Amino acid sequence: MAQSLGRLFTLLSFRKTHLSRQCVQVLSGTTLKRTLMMRAVPILSPKPRDFSLPNPSWGEEMMRLYNYYSSQSEVETEGEEEQGSQWTRLPSYNRSLKYAIGGVYLSKIIQSKARLFTRNIKHPGAGFEYVVFFTKDKQRCVCIFQAGHLLEGPPGHVHGGAIATIIDTVTGTHASLLCAPVVTANLNINYRSPIPLGSTVLIESTLDEQEGKKTFISCKITSTDGSKLHTEATALFVSVSVSHLLRG
């Protein structure tokens, strides 16, 4: 049985495989039975839904920028400098577990009702609509964010907590691309000007430094033409083991 579980979790490998080892430890009772039954289903898991693809709620500006960055990622370039400016779209799921191979199944085993905060409002356009692109060298990310009407704070404007959430998500995603798994250790935010509800803004995330377990990232939110600065932030992410994540 140990061998079967071993093979199963090799299939469910999550980047550095920390998760696989940890999951063996958390499985027990009915969960274990269900897991073993999963061996009967085809090895290739169904694809999870990608929430960073356009939906009918995306406004003109959101679509314009999405098309712009998508077209940049299709451009074939020569030479290192140009390659560095190429963008790749990152898929976005309603659970971080789904980034793992076989994560759809893991997602059904561990806290099955859990959902990523930014992807838990079912009505398209009501909450966080966003898509993240990153450069090949992973030094920069850009997020196009359309803030829905359920994110209101001051009348007609986005709640500061919702802004902190999307900053944590973008910088956290950026740090995860570099060295998953990580947790936010510190987040400093300066709110410079309110973000109108329903508007589309640009969130740019830059890697400042990596030092041992620590990844320092800075971030700014601007209007899409760059003329207005809405928010500036710096964040520190610390690499952790999967057991640290599951232990809480």
Site string for ligand MYA, 31-70 (x = CB under 6 A): ----------------------------------------
Q: Are 170 and 219 in contact (CB under 8 A)?
A: yes
Contacts of 111 (CB under 8 A, 6+ apart): none
Cα gap 212→115, rounded to integer Å: 30
Least distance (Å) between residue 88 CB and ligand MYA: 11
Q: Which one, 90 or 158, has the nearer CB to ligand MYA? A: 90
Least distance (Å) between residue 93 CB and ligand MYA: 8
Under rule CB under 6 A, residue 5 binds ligand MYA: no
Least distance (Å) between residue 227 CB and ligand MYA: 29
Please identify the residue of the shown chain whose CB is closest to the bound ligand MYA: 172
Site for ligand MYA in 88-107 (CB under 6 A): 96, 99
Site for ligand MYA in 140-169 (CB under 6 A): 168-169
Q: Has 168 been annotated as catalytic?
A: yes
Under rule CB under 6 A, residue 172 binds ligand MYA: yes
From the list 50, 137, 168, 208, the catalytic residue is 168
Cα gap 68→184, rounded to integer Å: 30
Cα gap 55→125, rounded to integer Å: 8
Q: Are 130 and 52 in contact (CB under 8 A)?
A: yes
Could you tell me which stretch among 16-24, 57-65, 155-163, 180-188 binds ligand MYA (CB under 6 A)? 180-188
* Paired residues of 88 in beta bridges: 134
Comparing C-alpha atoms, which of 210, 203, 133 is closest to residue 162?
A: 203
Pairing assessment for the beta strands 182-191 and 128-135 based on DSSP bridges: unpaired
Cα gap 61→156, rounded to integer Å: 19
Comparing C-alpha atoms, which of 141, 172, 170, 142 is closest to residue 239?
A: 172
Least distance (Å) between residue 29 CB and ligand MYA: 28
Least distance (Å) between residue 79 CB and ligand MYA: 27
| Distance set, CA 108 to CA 102, 103, 112, 181 (Å) | 10, 9, 5, 20
Site for ligand MYA in 182-241 (CB under 6 A): 183-186, 212-214, 236, 238, 240
Contact positions vs ligand MYA (CB under 6 A): 96, 99, 168-169, 172-173, 176-177, 180, 183-186, 212-214, 236, 238, 240
**What is the set of active-site residues?**
168
